[in-house]
Every structure is written in structure tokens, then in C-alpha cells.
């Protein structure tokens, strides 16, 4: 009897074991702030549909890259991982040809616009998937009501911008909220207007990337840095810019302690939702340093990749295809408050939610100017040293470096990174 | 003498093997990597000799300033912590009502994480909205209000002040333990000889407290030379690069993908620690008085 019972238990166990062994769990490693509740909801929906679980591994932003790189180098990469992707980091950061699944033949690739496909590709092969914010990248959000009270119009040149700042300063309001301790934000002023430098010196980007020119040869770049230094000296950032926290930008704008802030245009929503007592209206205009008036686009951004050594490649492809469905892309947009538009191909037919302020911004951009790409996406080895540039600019604000020294330091680091990457243009 | 040993030498083997495997071997490997061009951009690693060390002492990045900052912080922060902690310990070993409460309050900052301390003090020290300047303005001393973390003349004193606020309790606790081990007979004998307070301090307390002083100085110097957390959370090496130290430079090199250069800076720190730490321990242990 006991033997029969043991045999029965063994047979049941054998029958049950295979179903346990089949349960697939995909690990997904991402930096904090790159995903939202919408992404988690979609992962749960995928699990419900397919039974494949998604295990999130969220890293502090300062450590994500090194943690991911360590795992990839050890041959123990997560099934899915994210990076801040552009056409260079796809190779330098994750060595996509070695570590990533080739998605070139997947049908969902065409849901991404051409510039986005380029940012997740290497040598003509598509390795990643990215659906991120669409629109003008980091314009200046400004207090429209205050501007109206002071009789100011949207500045389109640096001179007009200075006049507006002087008028706001005279009113006792800090013209522009800036937060240097964040390390990255104040760099936006000179990098977001990159297409203006190309406008002034056609072909300069190709020369920079071919190591036939340096940033010290880019006239507009030095002008932008000098103008930024002037803004600091004239007090347009107020007196606390070296101590301010990024997190307090909305409260400063909502309470009229400051009038302007360089920020994603979708964040105008934050002002109205988090500060309902604020009755001021907010708009956006382009950063007018060096009289830049080209809409700046950022086709790059956080993107996810599949690990080529994962034993669940079929499930990874399933997940990526699931996320590329129109209804799921729409879900991500509809349930991400700070995102008013998502960067996908027009053929997908997504209903974008541009704010009236954003439509007004698009309408104000001269059609002849078109859309340019931000400097850190078009010039190699600039994004890699973003925080270093931030420190150098902060040193310049303190009077410890000159604009020429800041530019030389950037050139020096570009050369160092290029040589380390084995870039043939620097050999 | 071997006859005094309670356990045979091989009892230490398991711990020694773990220590060698988890600390010594990785340390040696790290030193080895400091002679290579190991970086995030290239999977191949090549031997480059002393190139990384040459870069540290000749590059325009001012690593020499970071080294000086580290040494100055190690010395000054220790003086600022040890001297007041000693007097607090003496005070709280005496006949003071509620001394256990004061000891607890002084020790509490030690258990807070550096991240929490940094976030709190960045708010407290904000020039416009911070508590410190708010109080100073409120009591009629607005001229004392400053840019504590962005003024080049105030940033280092501010960092050392916050570090001292966090660390004094720990140093004081070690001194209290040392003071409690000193026999009262020595003080009675000194009283009989007519010794005053200062005389007892220099002739009885300090010599008998040498083991505790050694511990605090050695730990303090080691901590000071390896400092990272308090600087990272308060200023991240800023304003600009004014408060960069060796370990923030190591962190920045690793963050930017220059792993070879980062390990070279770490190796340099190891050499500095050894050059300062070994003679310091030898000198201070010679001065210990056997009770």
C-alpha cells in the first residue's frame, strides 16, 4: 500500500514539474525615471496574455550604466535592458552586435520613425525599441501671464531675451530658475541649440565627427557659452542658482519666484495639476541663445534591447511585439502625465495630446527653419561627457575657468573617449 | 609567547582565506588593472605601464588639487571631531544629570545614512530658504547668513561642520569607553599630589587614553583619506570642482568609463593610506600606556 502511494505521488510530481519548468520570467533592467506606471501596467497585461512574467530590476540612475556593463561583461546580462541610446552608444555602451538580439526583420520596427531606428541600430541592423517623448526638446517654459502684465512678447533673439530678463528682474522676480547642483540641467542651454551652429557653419557636424574640426572651431558654440556666462553675471539666474534643487522648479514657477525654466514642454501639465492655486498661464518658446530659432528634436533617449545570450529569445520578441501594438503605445501615452506626445511613425496613427501651449510653440517656429537635432545627438562623444561639461560650466560661473578653457576641456575629453573607443578618425 | 596562545594557528585559516579571497586578491587585481587602458568603450584591455599615473600628475584635470583636498580634509576634520569629542566625553563621564540622554542625542547622527544627512543639510543650508540663514536673519544677524555650499570660502568649513555633526558622537563614544577603563586610583593619587584639572588631563587622562586616541585617530585618518559620501551628497565635488577629493574623482572616472584611470587613482589612495597609516599606528601604539 505504501509503495503504491509513493508511486502515485511520484507520478503526480512528474506530471506537475514540467508545468513549473515552463513558467518563463524575463528580467528587465532599467534606470530609475525611465519607466512609469504605464510600462508596469503593460508588463502585467503581457503576463496576463502570455503567462510570461516580467521581473523589473530598477537601478539608481548614477549606477545603472556600470551595473549593466558589469553584467554584460560577465556574460550574465538581464534578458531585457535599457540604455540612453544613440547611434554611438549602441556600440560603445552595450556592444550591440555581440550582446543584443537582431530585430531587423521584426514587423514592429517600422512603428519607429527613421531617426529613432537609427538611434537603436548599428551597421544597418536594428537592435532596440524606443518609444519616447516627441516634440520640441527642452524649450523654455515661461509665465505667459507675467509676460503679458509686463508687456513682453516671446523673445526670438538673444537681445530680446535679455530685455525680457531685465524687465522681469526689475519686477523682483528671478528671470530664469536654474539648478546647477543637479549637474546636467545648465548644460542644456548650449547643447539644445546645436542645429543653430550647423546653420551658421554648414557641414560642421560631419567635420567634428570625422575629427577634421574641433569644438573650438565652432563659432556659434563659443558665442553660446559666452552668452550663458553673461546671463549669470547679469543675475538672470538669480542669486541661488548654485544652490537650487531641480525638484523645486515647479514650485518656483507656480509661486512667481521665477518666470522661466528650461524644461520638457509636457511638464506644463505638472504646473496646473500640482499647483491648482496657481492661476497663471504658461507657454513655451525656443532657447534663443545665438538667436536660435530651429525646433530642436531629440530622436534618441531611453530604449530597450534584448540580450542575445538569453534562453528566452522567443519570449523577448513576443514582449517587444506586444509593446509595439498601437493600442499599447496609445496606452503608454494616455497614462503618462508628463508625456503629451509619443515619438512613433505617423503610420501608427497614435492620437497625440499636445497642449495648447505646445501647438502655439510649433506654430511660432519659422517653417523655413525646420527641425534640427540637438547637439548631443549629432556630435559624437559629447553626451558621454555631459556631467563633466556641467562641472566645467559651473567652474566658469565661479570665475575659475574661461569659456575657451571650457571648450578646450570638452575637446580634450572628446579625443580621449574617441581614442579609447578605437575611433579610426582619431588614430 | 606561544604558551599564551589559547588556540592553534590554523584556527585562523578559514577567516584568513576569506579575507585573502575577498579583499587581498581583488585588491591586487585592481592594482594590476591600474596599469592598463581598461575602459567601457573597448572590450580589449592593454598594458600601458605608468600612463595612468602620469595622467594623474600631469593632466589638466587637477588631480593634484584633489589629493591636497583629501589630505587637508583628513587632518582638519579629525581635529574638529576629536578635540570636542574628548571634552564632551570627559564632561559626560562626570557627575552630570541626564548624561545618558545627552550621550544618546550626540550619538544619534552617527546612525543616520549619509544620503539622509546630505538631503537634510542641503535644505538646511540653502541660502534663501534654509533653516540656518532663516534663524540668523530672525535673531538679527543677517550679516552672518552665507552661501554655505556654494561660496568658495564657506563650502569646505560647511562640509567639515556637517561631517563633524555626524561623527562627533561616534568618536565621543570610544573616548567614553576609554575613560571608563581608567582606574579612579590614578585621579585620587593626583589629587593627593595637588594636581589641578589640566595637570590631571595631561598627566593621567591622555596617557591612559592613548589606546582610544589611537583608535580614533587611525579610524579618523582612514575615513578622511577615503572620504566620499559626505562630499557626494552635499556638493558632488562642487561648486565646479572645488571640493573634489580622490574618491569623488575615482567615482567620476568609473562613471565616465575610464576604469583603468579610476583604479590608478584608487591605487594611489592605497599608497597614501599605507604611507600615512603604518607609521601612524606604529608611533601611536608605542605611546600606549599599559594599565
Q: Which residue of B has its CA nearest to A417?
A: B41
Q: A interface toward B at CB cutoff 8 Å?
A: 62, 65-66, 69, 73, 92-93, 95, 98, 180-181, 183, 239-240, 242-243, 245, 384-385, 387-388, 391-392, 394-398, 400-401, 409, 412, 416-417, 420-422
- Which of A92, A181, A395 has its CB closest to that of B241? A395
C-alpha to C-alpha distances, A294 to A137, A380, B187, B233, nearest whole angstrom: 11, 21, 81, 38
Domain match, A387 and A400 both: yes
User: Is residue A9 domain-resident?
Assistant: no
Helix, strand or coil for residue A164? Answer: helix
pLDDT band for B224, please (50, 70, 90 cuts). very high
User: Is residue A38 domain-resident?
Assistant: yes
pLDDT at residue A115 tops 90: no
- Which of B126, B237, B255 has its CB closest to that of A243? B126
User: Is residue A4 domain-resident?
Assistant: no
Cell numbers describing residue A101 = 538580439
What residues of A are in contact with residue B60 (Cβ under 8 Å)? Answer: 409, 412
What residues of A are in contact with residue B237 (Cβ under 8 Å)? Answer: 391
pLDDT band for A61, please (50, 70, 90 cuts). confident
Q: Which residue of A has its CA nearest to B240?
A: A395
Best residue in B26, B33, B41 for a mutation probing chain A (most A CBs within 10 Å):
B41
pLDDT at residue A109 tops 80: yes
User: Is residue A373 domain-resident?
Assistant: yes
Among A263, A258, A256, A257, residue whose Cα is nearest residue A280? A256
pLDDT at residue B171 tops 60: yes
Q: How many residues does chain B have?
A: 291
What residues of B are in contact with residue A401 (Cβ under 8 Å)? Answer: 240
What would the mean pLDDT of A139-146 be, rounded to a whole number? 97
Best residue in B40, B42, B55, B258 for a mutation probing chain A (most A CBs within 10 Å):
B40
Tally of domains within chain A: 2
As a whole number of angstroms, the distance between CA B182 and CA B251 comes to 43
Domain match, A150 and A31 both: no
Q: Which residue of B has its CA nearest to A399?
A: B240
User: Is residue A2 domain-resident?
Assistant: no
Q: Which fold has domain B62-286?
A: MetI-like fold (1.10.3720)
What residues of A are in contact with residue B255 (Cβ under 8 Å)? Answer: 62, 65-66, 387
What residues of A are in contact with residue B39 (Cβ under 8 Å)? Answer: 420
- ipTM, 2 dp: 0.82
What would the mean pLDDT of A289-309 be, rounded to a whole number? 90
Q: How many residues does chain A have?
A: 427
pLDDT band for B61, please (50, 70, 90 cuts). low
Selected residue with higher pLDDT from B280 and A175: A175
Best residue in B126, B150, B228 for a mutation probing chain A (most A CBs within 10 Å):
B150
Q: Does B255 touch chain A (CB under 8 A)?
A: yes
Task: Specify the pLDDT at position A13.
Answer: 59
User: What percent of chain A has pLDDT above 70?
Assistant: 95
Q: Does B238 touch chain A (CB under 8 A)?
A: yes
Q: Give all strands of the β-sheet with A128-129 in edge-to-edge order.
A: A53-59, A25-31, A80-85, A301-306, A128-129
Q: Does B236 touch chain A (CB under 8 A)?
A: yes
What would the mean pLDDT of B83-96 be, rounded to a whole number? 93
Provide the CATH number for the domain around residue A342.
3.40.190.10
Cα atoms found within 13 Å of the Cα of residue A334, Cβ hemisphere only: 10
User: Is residue A102 domain-resident?
Assistant: yes
What residues of B are in contact with residue A400 (Cβ under 8 Å)? Answer: 240-242
Domain match, A199 and A289 both: yes
**H helices present in chain B, as ranges:** 13-19, 25-33, 51-58, 63-91, 99-111, 114-124, 131-138, 155-180, 184-192, 197-200, 206-208, 210-225, 229-234, 246-255, 259-286
Task: Specify the pLDDT at position A64.
Answer: 86
Q: A174, exposed or middle or buried, with CB in 10 Å at 0-12, 13-18, 19+?
A: buried
What would the mean pLDDT of B264-289 be, rounded to a whole number? 82
User: Is residue A323 domain-resident?
Assistant: yes
Residues 6+ positions from B95 with CB-CB distance below 8 Å: none
pLDDT at residue A136 tops 60: yes
pLDDT digits (tens, 9 = 90+) for A311-366: 999 999 999 999 999 999 999 999 998 889 999 999 999 999 999 999 999 888 88
- Which of A239, A398, A417 has its CB closest to that of B152? A398
pLDDT at residue B248 tops 70: yes
What would the mean pLDDT of B18-27 be, rounded to a whole number? 94
For the ranges A81-90, A119-128, B196-205, the one whose mean pLDDT is highest: A119-128
Domain match, A190 and A121 both: no
Domain match, A344 and A372 both: no
Residues 6+ positions from A298 with CB-CB distance below 8 Å: A132, A133, A137, A138, A373, A374, A377
* Pairwise CB contact (< 8 Å): A417 & B236: no
3-state secondary structure B194-206: CCCHHHHHHHHHH
User: Is residue A377 domain-resident?
Assistant: yes
User: What mean pLDDT is reported for chain A?
Assistant: 91
Domain match, A123 and A148 both: no
What residues of A are in contact with residue B51 (Cβ under 8 Å)? Answer: none
Full domain range(s) for residue A363: 140-297+357-426
What would the mean pLDDT of A415-423 be, rounded to a whole number? 87
User: What percent of chain A has pLDDT above 90?
Assistant: 70
pLDDT at residue A12 tops 80: no
What residues of B are in contact with residue A388 (Cβ under 8 Å)? Answer: 252, 256
Q: How far does B54 lie from chain A, in Å, by closest CA?
A: 15
* Pairwise CB contact (< 8 Å): A385 & B256: yes
Q: How far does A321 lie from chain B, in Å, by closest CA?
A: 30
pLDDT band for B291, please (50, 70, 90 cuts). very low
pLDDT digits (tens, 9 = 90+) for B123-137: 999 999 999 999 999
- Which of A388, A400, A420 has its CB closest to that of B41? A420
User: What mean pLDDT is reported for chain B?
Assistant: 90
What would the mean pLDDT of B41-59 be, rounded to a whole number? 85
- Which of A62, A180, A391 has its CB closest to that of B237? A391
Lowest mean pLDDT among A8-12, A14-18, A109-113, B251-255: A14-18
Domain match, A362 and A392 both: yes
* Pairwise CB contact (< 8 Å): A387 & B254: no
Distance of CA A290 to the CA centre of its chain: 23
Q: Which residue reads 575657451 in cell numbers?
A: A404
Domain match, A374 and A284 both: yes
As a whole number of angstroms, the distance between CA B177 and CA B193 comes to 26
What residues of B are in contact with residue A416 (Cβ under 8 Å)? Answer: 258
What residues of B are in contact with residue A394 (Cβ under 8 Å)? Answer: 238-240
Question: Which of these three, A348, A378, A412, is where a domain ends?
Answer: A348
Q: How far does A384 lie from chain B, in Å, by closest CA?
A: 7
Amino acid at each position: 500500500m505504501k509503495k503504491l502511494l509513493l508511486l502515485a505521488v511520484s507520478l503526480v510530481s512528474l506530471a506537475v514539474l514540467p508545468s513549473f519548468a515552463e513558467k518563463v520570467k524575463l528580467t528587465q533592467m532599467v534606470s530609475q525615471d525611465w519607466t512609469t506606471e504605464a510600462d508596469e501596467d503593460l508588463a502585467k497585461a503581457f503576463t496576463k496574455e502570455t503567462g510570461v512574467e516580467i521581473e523589473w530590476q530598477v537601478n539608481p540612475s548614477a549606477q545603472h550604466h556600470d551595473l549593466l556593463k558589469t553584467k554584460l561583461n560577465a556574460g550574465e546580462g538581464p534578458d531585457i535592458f535599457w540604455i540612453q541610446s544613440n547611434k554611438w552608444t549602441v556600440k560603445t555602451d552595450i556592444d550591440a552586435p555581440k550582446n543584443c538580439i537582431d530585430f531587423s526583420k521584426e514587423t514592429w520596427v517600422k512603428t519607429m520613425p527613421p531617426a529613432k531606428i537609427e538611434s537603436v541600430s548599428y551597421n544597418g541592423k536594428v537592435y532596440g525599441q524606443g518609444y519616447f517623448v516627441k516634440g520640441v526638446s527642452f524649450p523654455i517654459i515661461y509665465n505667459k501671464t507675467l509676460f503679458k502684465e509686463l508687456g513682453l512678447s516671446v523673445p526670438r533673439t538673444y537681445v530680446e531675451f535679455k530685455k525680457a530678463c531685465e524687465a522681469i528682474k526689475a519686477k523682483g522676480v528671478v528671470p530664469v530658475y536654474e539648478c546647477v547642483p543637479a549637474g546636467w540641467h545648465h548644460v542644456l542651454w548650449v547643447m539644445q541649440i546645436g542645429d543653430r551652429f550647423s546653420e551658421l557653419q554648414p557641414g560642421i557636424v560631419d567635420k567634428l565627427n570625422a575629427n577634421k574640426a574641433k569644438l573650438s572651431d565652432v563659432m556659434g558654440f563659443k558665442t553660446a557659452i559666452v552668452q550663458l556666462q553673461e546671463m549669470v553675471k547679469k543675475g538672470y539666474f538669480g542669486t541661488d542658482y548654485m544652490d537650487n534643487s531641480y525638484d523645486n522648479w515647479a514650485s518656483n514657477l507656480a509661486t512667481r519666484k521665477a518666470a522661466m525654466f528650461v524644461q520638457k514642454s509636457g511638464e506644463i501639465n505638472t504646473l496646473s495639476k500640482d499647483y491648482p492655486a496657481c492661476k497663471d498661464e504658461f507657454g513655451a518658446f525656443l532657447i534663443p541663445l545665438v538667436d536660435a530659432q530651429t525646433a530642436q528634436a531629440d530622436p534618441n533617449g531611453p530604449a530597450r534591447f534584448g540580450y542575445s545570450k538569453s534562453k528566452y529569445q522567443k519570449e523577448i520578441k513576443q514582449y517587444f511585439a506586444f509593446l509595439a501594438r498601437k493600442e499599447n503605445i496609445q496606452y503608454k501615452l494616455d497614462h503618462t502625465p508628463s508625456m503629451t506626445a509619443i515619438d512613433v511613425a505617423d503610420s501608427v496613427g497614435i492620437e497625440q495630446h499636445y497642449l495648447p501651449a505646445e501647438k502655439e510653440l510649433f506654430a511660432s517656429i519659422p517653417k523655413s527653419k525646420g527641425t534640427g537635432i540637438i547637439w548631443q545627438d549629432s556630435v559624437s562623444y559629447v553626451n558621454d561627457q555631459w556631467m563633466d561639461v556641467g562641472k566645467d560650466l559651473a567652474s566658469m560661473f565661479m570665475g575659475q575657468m574661461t569659456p575657451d578653457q571650457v571648450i578646450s576641456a570638452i575637446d580634450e575629453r572628446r579625443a580621449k573617449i574617441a581614442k579609447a573607443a578605437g575611433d579610426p578618425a582619431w588614430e | 609567547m606561544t604558551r599564551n596562545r589559547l588556540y592553534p594557528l590554523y584556527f585562523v585559516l578559514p577567516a584568513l582565506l576569506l579575507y585573502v579571497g575577498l579583499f587581498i586578491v581583488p585588491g591586487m587585481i585592481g592594482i594590476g588593472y591600474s596599469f592598463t587602458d581598461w575602459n567601457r568603450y573597448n572590450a580589449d584591455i592593454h598594458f600601458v605601464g605608468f600612463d595612468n599615473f602620469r595622467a594623474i600628475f600631469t593632466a589638466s584635470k587637477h588631480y593634484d588639487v584633489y589629493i591636497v583636498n583629501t589630505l587637508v580634509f583628513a587632518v582638519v576634520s579629525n581635529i574638529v571631531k576629536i578635540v570636542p569629542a574628548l571634552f564632551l566625553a570627559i564632561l559626560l563621564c562626570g557627575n552630570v544629570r541626564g548624561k545618558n540622554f545627552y550621550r544618546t542625542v550626540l550619538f544619534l547622527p552617527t546612525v543616520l545614512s549619509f544620503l539622509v544627512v546630505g538631503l537634510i543639510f542641503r535644505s538646511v543650508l540653502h541660502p534663501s530658504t534654509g533653516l540656518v540663514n532663516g534663524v540668523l536673519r530672525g535673531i538679527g544677524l543677517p550679516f552672518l547668513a552665507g552661501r554655505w555650499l556654494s561660496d568658495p570660502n564657506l563650502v569646505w568649513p560647511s562640509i567639515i561642520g556637517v561631517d563633524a555633526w555626524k561623527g562627533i558622537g561616534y568618536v565621543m563614544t570610544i573616548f567614553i569607553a576609554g575613560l571608563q577603563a581608567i582606574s579612579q586610583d590614578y585621579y585620587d593619587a593626583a589629587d593627593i599630589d595637588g594636581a589641578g584639572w589640566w595637570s590631571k588631563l595631561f598627566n593621567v587622562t591622555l596617557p591612559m587614553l592613548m589606546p582610544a586616541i589611537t583608535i580614533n585617530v587611525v579610524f579618523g585618518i582612514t575615513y578622511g583619506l577615503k572620504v566620499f559620501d559626505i562630499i557626494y551628497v552635499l556638493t558632488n565635488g562642487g561648486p565646479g570642482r572645488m571640493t573634489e577629493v580622490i574618491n569623488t574623482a575615482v567615482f567620476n572616472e568609473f562613471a565616465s568609463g575610464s576604469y583603468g584611470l579610476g583604479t590608478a587613482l584608487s591605487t594611489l589612495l592605497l599608497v597614501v593610506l599605507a604611507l600615512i597609516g603604518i607609521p601612524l599606528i606604529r608611533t601611536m601604539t608605542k605611546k600606549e600606556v599599559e594599565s
